[in-house]
Amino acid sequence: MNFESGHSDMVHDAQLDYYGRRLATCSSDRTIKVFDIVGDQHTHLADLRGHEGPVWQVSWAHPKFGSLIASCSFDHKIIIWKENADKQWVQAYTSPPSLHSASINSLCWAPHELGLHLAAASSDGTVSTLTYQADGSWLANKMPGSHAIGATAVSWAPSVAPGSLVSGKAPEGCVKRLVSSGCDNTVRVWHFSEASLSWREERPLTGHTDWVRDVAWAPSLGLPKNTIASAGQDGQVFAWNETSAGEWERVLIHDFKTPVWRVSWSTTGSILAVSDSSNAVTLWKETIDGVWQQVSHS
């Protein structure tokens, strides 16, 4: 499906909501647009204005929390937009200037089982999380010095532990982990310590030879596997598989020989979409013997 977005400048992101019925887009024209999607038809619903710079990413929260969209921008701000009962979109939250001191490049809502949590990555080198409180406020938590030069992307781990679906043991509770990427050519895995109420780095994952542009933690659906995909300015896309000992094994999915911008998993975590600087989007799937093969190209 192709249609004219109505943005007056480059479009940087487009995200469907949980049901695939509404689409949010964002652009260098500093606006966010919301559309209703039915089959091949689209209807423009709203323009959201509030950012003072290019808007890099948008993300829909799970519908159990209502209609919420988070956006991040070159203006150092995160804005959380809420649709009210009159179908009007309002700014429910704007991050304070103290949260980040440079462009906020990426954001991602946590799995809904964890509650209303949002993570963000900034060019100031830090990753932050925002947690919704019972009194209606948002609690900020930062991981200082996460990535030298700047952080480019962030992604939450599935809330269920790997193997919980096929294990005979009772679930041990939700898992609160995330992964970030940065201009230090590194992918970093983090976990939240309930004892200290702070984020701790588990380990850096190295292998890229240039900026890591994007990172995505695959949905596991309770299967005995933890996989992260990373995309680099060096043209390489890696799959990182966590072993039972907690180590991460790196597998080269493909060397595109051109910078790779984004990676995104299917809902089941079985297919990886990759977009690169040649304006190509390819789909990749792992075979039973662990080899990644291309299954589609557009």
Bridge partners, 226 (sequence order): none
Residue 220: the pLDDT is 81
Whether the per-residue pLDDT at 114 is higher than 70: the answer is: yes
Whether the per-residue pLDDT at 169 is higher than 70: the answer is: no
Whether the per-residue pLDDT at 146 is higher than 80: the answer is: yes
Given a contact cutoff of 8 angstroms between Cβ atoms, the answer to whether 27 and 55 are in contact is yes
Residue 233, CA atoms < 13 Å, CB-side half-sphere: 12
pLDDT band (50, 70, 90) for residue 223: low
Cα dihedral 133, 156, 161, 198 in deg (nearest 10): -50
Whether the per-residue pLDDT at 138 is higher than 60: the answer is: yes
Residue 273: exposure state from Cβ atoms within 10 A (0-12, 13-18, ≥19): middle
296 compared with 91, residue with greater pLDDT: 91
Residue 41 phi, psi (nearest 5): -105, 145
Grouping H, G, I as helix, E, B as strand and the rest as coil, residue 65 is: helix
Whether the per-residue pLDDT at 135 is higher than 80: the answer is: yes
What digits encode the pLDDT tens for the residues 38-59? 988 999 999 999 999 999 999 9
Given a contact cutoff of 8 angstroms between Cβ atoms, the answer to whether 115 and 132 are in contact is yes
Task: Quote the DSSP letter at residue 64.
Answer: G
pLDDT band (50, 70, 90) for residue 170: very low
Whether the per-residue pLDDT at 244 is higher than 80: the answer is: yes
Considering Cα of 150, then 9, then 264, then 15, what sign does the dihedral take? positive
Residue 279 phi, psi (nearest 5): 70, 25
pTM: 0.91
Whether the per-residue pLDDT at 151 is higher than 50: the answer is: yes
The 3-state secondary structure of 109-147 reads: ECCHHHCCEEEEEECCCCEEEEEECCCCCEEEEEECCCC
